[in-house]
């Protein structure tokens, strides 16, 4: 499962960890239970975790189904009621999480996001009114060679624009790109699998508010 702490595990990984501990205890506590009764399930669960992790890396939809996705609970318009219901959070939960992160006043928050691992991320408003309002950025549009269509639509990025920005500079196809994101000013960041990362610029075609 790598070097992540228990609090940073995805829900499936956390369940696997609990089951592994329970299975390992059985032959250790009871001398009449053969050792292989514990070893075989442990190997099976470990193999299952590796397989599901591999599939999740290759298929964005499957990863979202297993691990979930980030949910915005506070946006520039205030608390997002529908997303609060989706995450089963109360207003008190949001206020407490924001306060724990050092934001006691909701009016100072531009975006608050509940991550798939349960972490509460906050993007604060710009204190200087002469500066542009901060946006929810960067916005990932490609992960492990797989375009994220809903984010592309939100940012107004077309397939042609993505190919033009990502291909070249030792990158011949999108499958060779590990990660790519875009910002509201059109700046893109591309991190290929086997070559140096680079940035570029595209003309945002509109899209929804993000």
pLDDT tens readout for residues 103-137: 888 888 888 888 877 788 888 877 655 555 555 56
Domain boundaries along the sequence of the chain: 6-67, 71-124, 139-201
Contact by Cβ (8 Å): 141, 187: no
Residue 1 has pLDDT above 60, yes or no: no
CB atoms within 10 A of CB 48: 13
pLDDT of residue 168: 76
Rounded to the nearest integer, the mean pLDDT of the chain is 80
Placement of tokens 């790598």 in the chain: 2
**CATH class for the domain made up of 139-201:** alpha beta
CATH number of 71-124: 1.25.40.340, 3.30.240.20, 1.20.1560.10, 3.60.10.10? 3.30.240.20
**For the segment 41-90, what is each residue's pLDDT rounded down to a tens digit?**
888 888 888 888 888 777 777 777 777 778 888 888 888 888 888 888 88
Q: Which two tokens stand for residue 150?
A: 């809903």
State if pTM tops 0.85.
no
How much of the chain, in percent, has pLDDT values that exceed 90?
Answer: 2
pLDDT of residue 7: 55
């Amino acid at each position: 499962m790598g070097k992540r702490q228990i609090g940073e595990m995805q829900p499936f990984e956390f369940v696997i960890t609990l089951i592994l501990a329970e299975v390992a205890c059985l032959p250790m506590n009871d001398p009449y239970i053969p050792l292989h009764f514990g070893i075989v399930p442990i190997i099976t669960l470990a193999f299952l975790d590796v397989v599901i992790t591999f599939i999740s890396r290759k298929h964005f939809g499957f990863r979202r189904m297993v691990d979930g996705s980030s949910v915005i609970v506070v946006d520039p318009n205030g608390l997002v009621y529908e997303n609060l219901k989706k995450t089963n959070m109360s207003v008190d939960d949001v206020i407490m999480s924001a306060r724990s992160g050092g934001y006691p006043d909701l009016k100072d928050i531009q975006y608050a996001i509940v991550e798939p691992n349960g972490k509460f991320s906050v993007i604060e408003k710009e204190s200087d009114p002469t500066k542009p309002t901060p946006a929810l950025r960067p916005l990932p549009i490609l992960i492990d060679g797989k375009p994220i269509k809903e984010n592309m639509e939100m940012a107004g990025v077309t397939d042609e624009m993505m190919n033009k920005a990502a291909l070249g500079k030792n990158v011949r196809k999108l499958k060779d790109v590990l990660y790519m994101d875009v910002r509201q000013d059109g700046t893109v960041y591309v991190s290929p699998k086997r070559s140096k990362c680079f940035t570029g610029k595209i003309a945002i075609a509109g899209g929804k508010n993000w």
